[in-house]
Chain A
């Protein structure tokens, strides 16, 4: 089910009505039913994967919980004595949950790609259809097992209640990857949603629809064609397509998340934030702390820290400090872990060398910037740059945007070589005069471009206001009726006319004159 479809809106309306009517204790069943309806619309096969994940993680967590419960009544000495055995068992259970679920994810999402890559397309293929949102709920469920294993959360005893945590419908398509301790209590609490919740949720959803339907859809017009056959286009058109893709990706992804979080908010449920104005980041590392935050946090908590604190990394650290002088020796283990994280994030997107390159690109730049930090410090000092000045911050923001922009050459290209072809053409065969004819030739009109750029400017303007610490919602709520009404009608009309209904108009009559 598409989260921009009327069916989704109808599902919300029906679920909300039932949710409010039910006694508080049973309200979660309405959410579960809605989640099953939502996911079942995607087909039975998709349901099967969801069941495998929920059942395996449920049992692993329950087993760990049972082991922990057994130790609860032991005295300190006994606890200490049984600790290694307990640790071993819970690690095995976590590993089992990981193995089954990531194994399944690999089979569904990566197997064919990897085989094709290794055998140059000659090998066998499973041909499985990747179910919607599988990466998201697997990450979320495995995170839960680890949380239980770490004693941060108690395992849910009721499978159906747990299933709701795994399958909560708004987040099924693209996250955010929430934590059990944060989301599950809210789902179970069944608090009656307030009018404030509904208003805030609707506003957030509208913001999401605006980004996704009005901007992302239009920006995407030229993206497919140019990325798939970049060699045929002038560099200026390639750079334009990459820019459009940068806008499209942000508006589509963060817009989708806004719709998801807005939906949850209507039910009075606060979901984890996933984007925090990433284009105002002053460095690439900061960008990644603002972009797809829940994935980054998941990586940090479940991969980066365990890795950094592992015995192997401690050994590497000792070795590097001893044998490599200066900054490099000091930061080597952290850099290595960073590299691994970005490598995994790269792979997370799909089985393609482009993602691998993307991981290296990000990891490389971040590592390099850590290594070069002292040097930059000296340069800034020599040039007497005021780091607190707005101008310097603006410079950093633009620089970061540029770095992100170049990274987009890798994410979307069909294969790695194409990324380099695109980069080369952008530099060597720019041909600015060929830009507009190419763009219009691919079906993007001047009004489309105007909508994309104006829309993106509006987004950035709002984000700038928020970046300065103003709460737009609150300040809007203090304004008069007509201002608030205008702030409601205008976006509604824009979404309806430029998004939902397209704006195609009478269009061309291909058969008109024959």
Chain B
């Protein structure tokens, strides 16, 4: 090859490689800056760089919103739905991870200049006093439209992007699962983190919680210093945001979100005081930084990230919503310098540690199935009566699941010794033998019926296979009307009996078939529960929002499908006593149960409960 030919070939090769790179990066568009023409996967690009990804998304969708939440990652947990309800607005959560107040100010300016904005909820988190104007790498850099940086550099960066980004995106697209993965952590329509898994994870006692690998930090929380040395710069940004909102007639709500006490220990006392004074000097604000909530690890994902339910409590406090449980000391409205009082409050809370200041209750849930008349083989009516009377004598009050929900969601009281009595499957013996005893002892119970089996007195479905008889709709109504028995769901037809089912796919419990897609499974679970609910509610006229998993088998997908269908309480067959925490809905997820019909006498049952309490 002559050198001339070499040069021409070289030039063509370089141009070809550049074009290939350009086309690949534009089409796959890992950061979503070219409209993501193939994958339309906003959550992925937002996870790679939320500052860029969210602005790209909003530029296309801002007409669907009229209000915004701004702040760092903990800000994710202020629920958009609740704000929409309280303010009759359409909120988008424009938080980004690692945001400092300069980022927030730039976002505020951008949305005010370019979108319709009625309300802004601004979270000035305490650690915003420790970082300001941090330069960002490719995952943390700002959109050129927002910070006014070079458009040329911006697009150059994404056109000549490491092709591994594109390869990763393609690979992950095909491996993506229904629930969130580390590479798609945002729930696109709201802008919040996708916390579906966290919202259904069962949470019980504190020591159990701390034993979970994800939360082991709370067990022996290391204190490390968090000096707040950029308070002035941070508050100047807050002041400018406030001014912008005033000029544009925007309703600005400033909050300082809750912090885990172990983290707060690292913030020098005088710095915290300066933070409170400086913020108060700029604007009145709702202070949630420290309260009894801060002492409760179960309210936190980690040191600076509080759970969605805590965000809900905070909003309820701001908007005076009495229907939601809020700890009394949670949230104060600060006008003028109250730093001395706030510091004194912090001291008191830190001194009271390590004891958690959150109210909790221990509630056993008993599980029965079929009852047989005395003299027959099985768990007899007399044995049941023995257990009921033993429970009564031991001071237990049988409560319903709605009372547990009231305790958790609304902070209502529970009897000191509460127990929940449950029967699975809906056997006729529950009506014939157990119901009279419940009436006799005035004890409440919940029966989980399999929708398809209601009224099947002799045969399994439309076969000629004999089965233990199930009560019918009239009996169901009678029990329900008594006020003692609540009828809830044990699925409509997801507790099938394999030997007597036709077809090759049998749903013995709520579990995915081999090869069934996650989407199809979620849809099937939702559809099944809807059938179950419709059937029961049509008979009893009472709400169905509790489900006992057949065989106690559950997974994150089924839990999420049910929560999304309005099921507030689910029950597993895990052996144990439940710990209920006020304000923490996850303690009603996949609750423990005790196989009470495995104990011959009331005393045996009681001693088993005692050993677990």
Contacts and interface: CB of A to CB of B under 8 A. Distances in A.
Nearest to A194: B3
B301 interface: yes
B172 A506 contact: yes
B6 A484 contact: yes
B148 interface: no
A506 B48 contact: yes
Given A492-B17, A514-B302, A514-B305, A504 B162 contact: yes
B513 interface: no
B3 A503 contact: no
Interface string A196-223: 1011101000000000000000000000
B160 A199 contact: no
Which of B14, B30, B162, B167 gathers the greatest number of chain A CB atoms within 10 Å? B162
A509 B43 CA distance: 13
Contact of B9 (A485, A497, A504): A485
A194 B3 CA distance: 9
A200 B10 CA distance: 12
Nearest to B138: A504
Given A198-B3, A492-B14, A506 B168 contact: yes
A506 B302 contact: no
Nearest to B160: A501
Nearest to B2: A195
Interface string A484-499: 1100110011001100
B514 interface: no
Nearest to B73: A511
A347 B389 CA distance: 95
Contacts of A504: 162, 164
Given A507-B139, A514-B73, A484 B162 contact: no
A469 to B, nearest CB: 23
B1 A484 contact: yes
Interface string B1-17: 11110110110011001
A502 interface: yes
A477 B7 CA distance: 12
Interface string A461-487: 000000000000000010001001100
Interface in B168-202: 168-169, 172, 182-183, 185, 193
A501 B305 contact: no
Contacts of A497: 162-163
A510 B21 CA distance: 27
A493 B172 CA distance: 24
Contacts of A500: 160
Contact of B161 (A481, A489, A501): A501
A512 interface: yes
Contacts of A477: 1, 3, 6
A511 B185 contact: yes
A84 interface: no
Nearest to A509: B182
B183 A503 contact: no
A70 interface: no
Contacts of B35: none
Contact of A505 (B21, B47, B168, B301): B168
B411 interface: no
Q: How large is the interface on B (under 10, 10 to 19, 20 to 34, 35 or more residues)?
A: 35 or more
A510 B13 CA distance: 38
Nearest to B181: A512
B45 to A, nearest CB: 11
Given A493-B17, A497-B163, A511-B185, A506 B169 contact: yes
A513 interface: yes
A506 B2 contact: no
Contacts of B13: 485, 488-489, 492
Contacts of A202: 7, 10
A385 B13 CA distance: 52
B162 A511 contact: no
Nearest to A196: B3
Contacts of B330: none
A352 B302 CA distance: 46
Main secondary structure of the interface of A (DSSP, over half): helix
B3 A501 contact: no
A326 to B, nearest CB: 58
Contacts of B14: 492
A484 B302 CA distance: 57
Contacts of B167: 505
Contacts of A492: 13-14, 17
Given A489-B13, A513-B182, A506 B165 contact: yes
Nearest to A508: B182
B205 interface: no
B98 interface: yes
A511 B172 CA distance: 18
Contacts of B48: 506
B97 interface: yes
Nearest to B21: A496
B163 to A, nearest CB: 7
Interface string A431-462: 00000000000000000000000000000000
B6 A509 contact: no
B7 A198 contact: yes
Nearest to A507: B139
A501 B10 contact: no
Most buried by A among B1, B165, B169, B302: B1
A484 B1 CA distance: 8
Contact of A506 (B10, B98, B183, B193): B183
Nearest to B195: A514
B70 to A, nearest CB: 17
Contacts of A509: 47, 182-183, 185
Contacts of B183: 506, 509, 512
Interface string B63-97: 00000000001000000000000000000000001
B185 A488 contact: no
Contacts of A481: 1, 9
Contact of B6 (A199, A502, A511, A514): A199
Contacts of B98: 511
Nearest to A497: B163
Contacts of B182: 509, 512-513
Interface string B546-565: 00000000000000000000
A180 B97 CA distance: 57
B9 A488 contact: yes
B6 A505 contact: no
Contacts of A484: 1, 6, 9
Given A509-B183, A514-B302, A503 B47 contact: no
A506 B98 CA distance: 18
Contacts of B193: 514
Nearest to B50: A511
Nearest to B16: A489
Nearest to A512: B182
A484 B6 CA distance: 8
Nearest to A504: B162
A447 to B, nearest CB: 11
Nearest to A510: B97
B15 to A, nearest CB: 11
Nearest to A479: B1
Contacts of B172: 506
B66 to A, nearest CB: 27
Q: Which of A488, A504, A506 has the most CB of B within 10 A?
A: A506
Interface of B: 1-4, 6-7, 9-10, 13-14, 17, 21, 30, 47-48, 73, 97-98, 139, 160-165, 167-169, 172, 182-183, 185, 193, 214, 301-302, 305
18 contacts: A195-B6, A198-B3, A202-B7, A484-B1, A484-B6, A488-B10, A488-B13, A492-B14, A497-B162, A505-B165, A505-B168, A506-B48, A506-B172, A507-B139, A509-B182, A511-B97, A511-B98, A512-B185
Given A199-B10, A501-B161, A505-B162, 10 more contacts: A195-B3, A195-B4, A492-B17, A497-B163, A503-B164, A506-B169, A509-B185, A511-B97, A512-B182, A514-B193
Closest 7 CB pairs of A and B: A505-B164, A512-B182, A506-B168, A511-B97, A501-B162, A195-B3, A199-B3
